[in-house]
């Protein structure tokens, strides 16, 4: 099941599986509703959404929030025909920030986010984060995992790591993307859970063996929660 909230409209698609083709099918219906608008799309971290969103909404800002790796947010966008990935923490728009288990967890991945003011920028679509290697692991096992992870993210190259202030000075176009996402999430965590209340059918369809599926937001510049 794929659930989509676009403005004040809610779409629920009962599909045999969740993959690139089914996600693309769902987004095609949303495209008919939104017309020529390229929205801010907020989804779970599933990789099949990356190409599906880019295919239907080529100029959209795509925000991916990882539930199992809570605290990490990937923002995919296009600038001058080049795809970029901006990585920030999900509490970047909170005044007081946040802490807890998730804050310590994001410090142990390949893009450690020590504070909400820290950010990374990649050229290309970085698909997933990976944990930093543990010294107690067997060396040969680490090498095999490193090769697999490198192949999964081979199209993404890191070009910046540092504070948001320095990022905006070096790559001014990132500030426009950041501010547009901030219009929807100012004072909130960046998460797709803000639409969960719309999908009251989830508990009922699960009774019949249908998986809960994924949530997806499509926000135009005038939409609010």
pLDDT in tens, 89-127: 888 888 765 555 667 777 778 888 878 889 999 999 999
Q: Are strands 40-44 and 61-65 parallel, antiparallel or unpaired?
A: parallel
Domain ranges of the chain: 2-128+138-219
More confident residue, 48 or 17: 48
- Per-residue model confidence (pLDDT) at position 208: 43
Q: What is the pLDDT of residue 65?
A: 85
Q: Full-prediction pTM beyond 0.85? A: no
- Mean pLDDT across 22-28: 86
Q: For 169-180, what is each residue's pLDDT tens digit? A: 999 999 999 999
Q: What is the largest CA-CA distance in the chain?
A: 53
**Of 144, 147, 143, 149, which is closest to residue 128 (Cα–Cα)?**
149
Rounded to 5 degrees, what angle do the CA atoms 173, 114, 144 make? Answer: 90
Identify the CA nearest to 89 among candidates 109, 108, 114, 57. Answer: 114
CA distance 17 to 159: 36
Return all residues near 155 (Cβ < 8 A) that are at least 6 apart. Answer: 124, 125
Residue of 100, 120, 93, 123 lying closest to 191 (CA atoms) = 93
CA angle 9, 10, 13 (to 5 degrees): 140
| Residue tagged 């599926």 (tokens) | 213
């Amino acid at each position: 099941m794929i659930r989509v909230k676009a403005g004040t409209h809610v779409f629920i698609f009962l599909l045999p599986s969740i993959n690139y083709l089914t996600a693309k099918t769902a987004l095609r219906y949303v495209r008919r509703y939104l017309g020529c608008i390229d929205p801010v799309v907020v989804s779970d971290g599933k990789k099949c959404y990356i190409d599906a969103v880019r295919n239907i909404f080529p100029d959209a800002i795509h925000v991916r929030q990882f539930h199992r790796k809570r605290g990490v947010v990937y923002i995919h966008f296009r600038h001058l025909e080049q795809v970029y990935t901006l990585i920030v923490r999900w509490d970047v728009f909170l005044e007081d920030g946040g802490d807890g288990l998730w804050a310590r967890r994001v410090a142990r991945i390949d893009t450690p986010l020590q504070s909400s003011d820290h950010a990374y920028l990649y050229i290309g679509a970085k698909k997933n984060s990976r944990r930093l290697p543990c010294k107690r692991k067997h060396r040969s096992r680490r090498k095999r995992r490193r090769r697999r992870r490198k192949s999964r993210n081979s199209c993404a190259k890191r070009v910046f790591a540092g504070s948001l202030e320095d990022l905006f000075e070096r790559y001014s176009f990132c500030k426009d993307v950041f501010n547009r996402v901030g219009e929807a999430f100012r004072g909130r965590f960046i998460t797709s859970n803000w639409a969960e209340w719309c999908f009251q059918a989830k508990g009922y369809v699960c009774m019949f063996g249908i998986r809960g599926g994924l949530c997806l937001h499509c926000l135009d510049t005038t939409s609010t929660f």
